[in-house]
């Protein structure tokens, strides 16, 4: 199955065959200075960076704009979840920052997702990616909040809800990627965290896979944090993952 990397409405010129357009490095650091220092340590090996809640709450749109000014792409991972009007307002507020991707929670329901989608129709708005089930959660964690179903089935339920609302893509763990490709086809952009090489600890992630396994199962983009950012040589760690992506992508072709 041919896997879609960018949505048809994407206005950039990124190449889905380039491994640099399939790896997102998570800047999970407490401030702007640390984030920019980490980008410098990567020595131009990576093109996409994730700005999550910790960094965004400290630096705001400034960090997104600085990364964009350097010619980099930003995955703004805010996991928006609120009433529809509030989420729509948040989407409009961050649109001017230049982020390429923005996350919302699929669990917000159809009305919230539709409101977010409508707010993201402007010329500078990011593509929306719906978070399904966090990679830190397994069946026991879901049961604790009253969801007594297999994580994969909950992911699929939320993924169908999001795609029906017109959301561009999904965040899912490596363990559900093949299922979503099979059930939803090649169109959705699948952004996959929980990536760990075989010799790297899982940390607080529950549902993980190696870069090769995730690409083989149909992932569009991989989000990698600590295996790169906490490595002795982040640039070398990133290059190893990029090489693994490239090898597996060629086998998929």
Query: What pLDDT digit, counting tens, does each position of 155-169 carry?
Result: 999 999 999 999 999
Catalytic residue among 11, 20, 50, 79: 79
Task: Give the per-residue pLDDT at 202.
Answer: 47
Helix (H) or strand (E) holding 62: helix 61-69
For residue 12 the two structure tokens come to 């950039």
238-245 average pLDDT score: 96
Q: Measured between alpha carbons, how far is residue 99 from residues 26, 47, 154, 194, 243 in Å?
A: 14, 13, 28, 22, 26
From the list 56, 47, 40, the residue with the least C-alpha distance to 25 is 47
H or E segment to which residue 56 belongs? helix 53-59
Distance of CA 202 to the CA centre of its chain: 18
Position 124 confidence tier, pLDDT thresholds 50, 70, 90: confident
Taking only the tens place, the pLDDT of each residue in 74-87 is 999 999 999 999 99
- Candidates 136, 64, 132; CA nearest to 99 is 64
* 3.30.1490.20, 3.10.310.10, 3.20.20.70, 3.20.20.100: CATH of 19-252: 3.20.20.70
Q: Domain segments of the chain: what residues?
A: 19-252
**Percent over 90 (pLDDT), the chain:** 81
The answer to whether 11 is a known catalytic residue is no
Hey, what are 163's tokens? Answer: 């795609």
Res 117 pLDDT > 60:
yes
């Amino acid at each position: 199955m041919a896997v879609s990397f960018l949505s048809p409405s994407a206005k950039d010129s990124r190449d889905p065959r380039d491994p640099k357009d399939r790896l997102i490095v998570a800047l999970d650091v407490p401030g702007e200075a640390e984030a920019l220092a980490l980008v410098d340590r990567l020595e131009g090996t990576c093109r996409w960076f994730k700005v999550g809640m910790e960094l965004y709450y400290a630096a705001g749109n400034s960090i997104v704009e600085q990364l964009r000014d350097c010619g980099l792409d930003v995955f703004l991972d805010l996991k928006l979840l609120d009433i529809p009007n509030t989420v729509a307002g948040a989407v409009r507020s961050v649109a001017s920052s230049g982020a390429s991707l923005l996350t919302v929670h699929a669990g917000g329901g159809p009305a919230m997702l539709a409101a977010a989608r409508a707010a993201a129709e402007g010329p500078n708005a990011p593509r929306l990616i719906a978070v399904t089930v966090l990679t830190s959660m397994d069946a026991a964690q879901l049961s604790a909040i009253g969801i007594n179903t297999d994580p994969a089935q909950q992911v699929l339920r939320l993924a169908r809800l999001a795609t029906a609302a017109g959301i561009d893509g999904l965040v899912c763990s490596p363990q559900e990627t093949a299922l979503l490709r099979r059930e939803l086809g090649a169109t959705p952009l699948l952004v996959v965290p929980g990536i760990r090489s075989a010799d790297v600890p899982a940390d607080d992630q529950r549902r993980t896979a190696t870069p090769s396994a995730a690409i083989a199962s149909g992932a569009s983009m991989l989000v990698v944090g600590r295996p790169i950012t906490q490595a002795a040589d982040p640039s070398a760690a990133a290059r190893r993952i990029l090489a693994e992506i490239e090898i597996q992508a060629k086998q998929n072709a």
